[in-house]
Amino acid sequence: MDGQRHEGAPDERLRQADALRDQRLWDAAAAAYRAHLAAHPADWRAQIQLGHCLKESGDPSAALVAYRAAEALARNNADVHLQIGHALKLTGNVEQAWRSYARALELDPSNEEASREAAALSRLASPLARSARTPGQAVQVVFDTSDLVAYFRSDRTPTGIQRVQLSITARALLDPIEGAATVAVAFDSQSGGWREIARDLFLRLWRLSRTGGDPLAPDWVEAVAALDAALRSGDDFVFAPGASLVNLGTSWWIPDYFLRVRDAVRLYGVRYVPLIYDCIPLVAPEHCHQGLVDQFAEWFSAMAALADSALAISEWSAADARRIAREVVPERDLAVTVVRLDADLRRDLGTAVEDAWPERSDLPGPHEPFVLCVGTIESRKNHLLLFHAWLTLLRKHGAARVPRLVCVGKAGWLADAAMTLWRNSPALQAKVSVAHGVPDVALAALYGRAMFTVTNSFYEGWGLPVTESLAFGRVPLVARNTSLTEAGGEAAVYFEPMNEPDLVAKLETLIFDEAERARREAIVASTTRLRSWGEIADQVMREVLDRADRPDRTPRLPVALGETYVLGLPGGGQADRAKAVADLLRDGLNWNAREPWGVWTRPGIARLRLTLPEDAPAGPLRVYIGLLAPGAPVTIGLRAFGADAGPPGFATVAAPANGAFTCVLDVAQRGQEVLVEIDGGKGVQLGTCDLPDGRMAGIGVTSLMICTAGDIAARVGFLEQQTFRVLRPT
């Protein structure tokens, strides 16, 4: 048992607890530490001592709870992870114990106890916890479903991206190809760890999402509750060395997503492989919410530096991704492979579902002729032009001759113009249906009985409704642009984008010329060659396995000497190198999420890792760091040193509440990397006494710059920026 005394003694209860611990009165000491923690819940050192007492009294499971509480407050503390390892070993969880010892050793390479324990357990742990993948061993293909989990908490019916993610992941779990060990995980933001989603639970959610649209149905509520319980109470997921983390969803909105991915990369050599649907927020931002544009720009910048390789759903999206990635990191080639979404929904669901007609008031009757349009109602999908075209048809031919237009999709971003036109027009209200929450089985019935389908969009990554139309033998009428021509191929009928007369003319042909429509349907039948979702999942796994043994792309970008890097979220909507470097600077998990003004460290030691250019001049360097104190006075420790050199002692800095200031650190001995460490101590709670926000912080970091000691211009420039622009959290 670690008998060191607690640093500092804020009250008599803590002194009493320490004294009882030193007398080895474990139960009494535990009770005293709990009394102290009731008044001082942020004292992570006392949590460690509580864990020691519980472990010595014979309750390692309770000790683990205390150590985990300490970890939540001080993530980058080597002793915390060492003690977690001890508790896990006592409870028989060898693999996770090995992981904790490895984490402690990574934080403190001189920790002999962690080194000894990790070496001993490496002989006992399963191959998933060893330092290298053995020849012939299956590659662990880990499907990250974090965003899907969040989606299911509020929605049941999947949209396009969720449908792709569910379909590929489910098939990979059901039938992995040879050489692949598949698993689904999600990131749990509360615990800070990855959690496995049991195969049967994931498949249950997948099946329920396809067969019903009611998010309040008892079977759905029960399944989502089981999912939440698995995330709350599950063990940390142990990545196999060299595993591939495949992200088929929308991770750009998850705060500090890449901080978690980089941690897995550093510990286990995980390869990150995202699926890129499109780059619309960067190339057509006028159709996106500004928040999405900013989030996507940050995500893409970091992804271009971090991803081992990438997948894209079309040649068009792949070309966009390669071009923008070269602009962000021109010295690296991001390998992008196309996985076409040419999926046969009809074969996937079975033909019998076409007879399961959805009896809903917002959908046509089973014998009413209609044209189907599937897609979120938003400005990019340009329903406004389609509604105008329908008004033209109604006024020209009369309501009796014009079929109903059925739009399946919920209202999205900038849908007001189209929906206002629809609401204000009795003619459209009578002949245009807008429905959402339509499950796959009902959607299949609609495809099977539609006269034809229409897809109008300014920009698409693929065009899943076009492929689905072809799967059911229906002619898709499609705007001739971006990847829609890849989805439609030679079987689709095309109209010129933004050309209402051409759209109306093509609609009239397909509505009123039955012979021409039959001829086009024959072309669809004779030329369409689609794959099952299982075949698409197989391709994803093959692409991942093909890259498993290739040299990885080190996720480090050198800083430019003399350049100031803002650690906040600057916005601007452009992917660039500065955003990538700023995201990569933070090392380890002891950071809160970035905000527009900067980022708070967590209690304990937070680290910044600066990779130097290969041609950096020899000699000492100087690090400038902009800091901001939280709403209470704090005393922190700072140090900077070469990664190959031993760390010096911390320099102590006292800061008044809400004070903004700059610190300068000299680095005499350095190698290829410089580490900056910030000891935030116990930290303080953010927010106010009346409105605490639940987070604990050490200090705020706004910006950072490293330069040679003689670069006067860079030094003055940084200080001027700090002096004349005060950055505060909003």
Residue 229: CATH number of its domain: 3.40.50
Same domain, 112 and 148: no
145 within a domain of the structure (yes/no): yes
Within this chain, do residues 114 and 232 fall inside the same structural domain, yes or no?
A: no
Q: How far is CA 563 from its chain centroid?
A: 28
- The CA dihedral of 307, 311, 312, 313, to the nearest 10 degrees, is -150
Q: Is residue 548 part of a domain?
A: no
CA distance 471 to 480: 20
Are residues 364 and 238 both part of a single domain? no
Q: Which of 38, 109, 57, 53 is nearest to 83 (CA)?
A: 53
Which 3 state secondary structure label does DSSP give 62?
helix
Q: Is residue 560 part of a domain?
A: no
Q: pLDDT at position 704, please?
A: 95
Same domain, 156 and 35: no
User: 């089981």: which residue's tokens?
Assistant: 226
pLDDT of 426 reads 96
**Is residue 657 in a domain?**
yes
**Within a domain: residue 536?**
no
Kindly report the CATH number assigned to the domain that includes residue 681.
Answer: 2.60.120
**In the prediction, which pLDDT does 241 show?**
81
What gap in Å lies between CA 600 and CA 699, rounded to an integer? Answer: 6
Residues 385 and 470 in one domain: yes
pLDDT for 4 equals 39
**Residues 89, 90, 92, 93, Cα dihedral to 10°:** -40
Cα–Cα distance measured from residue 517 to residue 474, given in angstroms and rounded to the nearest whole number: 9
Q: What predicted TM-score, i.e. pTM, was given to this entire model?
A: 0.81
The CATH number of residue 488's host domain is: 3.40.50.2000
Domain stop point among 502, 528, 554: 528
Residue 555 lies in a domain: no
The answer to whether residue 534 sits within a structural domain is no
Element (H, E) at 697: strand 692-697
Give the pLDDT score at 196: 94
Q: What does 507-521 look like in DSSP terms, one character per residue?
A: HHHHHH-HHHHHHHH
Residue-range definition of the domain harbouring residue 506 = 345-528
CATH number for 54: 1.25.40.10
Helices and strands (DSSP H and E) totals, the chain = 27, 25
Burial string for 212-244 (b: 16+ CB within 10 Å, else e) reads bbebeeeebeebbebbeebbeebebbbbbbbbb
| pLDDT digit string, tens, across residues 643-688 | 777 788 899 999 899 888 999 999 987 778 899 999 988 888 887 6
Same-domain check for residues 146 and 272? yes
**In the listed set 68, 97, 129, which residue is the last one of a domain according to the structure?**
129
Same-domain check for residues 442 and 507: yes
- Please give the backbone phi and psi of residue 4, each rounded to the nearest 5 degrees, phi first: -60, 145
Question: pLDDT digits over 471-503, tens only?
Answer: 999 999 999 999 999 999 999 999 999 999 999
Same domain, 159 and 293: yes
Last residue of a domain, one of 129, 160, 184: 129
Ranges under pLDDT 50 in the chain: 1-9, 125-132, 726
CB count within 10 Å of CB 41 equals 14
Residue 23 backbone class (left: φ over 0; alpha: ψ -120 to 50; beta: rest): alpha
The answer as to whether 6 is a domain residue is: no
Provide the domain count of the chain: 4
pLDDT at 355: 61
Q: Quick one: CA dihedral 235, 239, 240, 241, positive or negative?
A: negative
Element containing residue 118 per DSSP (H, E): helix 112-122
Instruction: Compute the radius of gyration of the chain from its Cα atoms.
Output: 29
What is the per-residue pLDDT for 335?
93
User: Are residues 150 and 267 located together in one domain of the fold?
Assistant: yes
Are 349 and 334 contained in the same domain?
Answer: no
**Residues 201 and 325 grouped into a single domain:** yes
pLDDT at position 541 is 97
Give the model's pLDDT for residue 218: 94
253 with 356, same domain: the answer is no
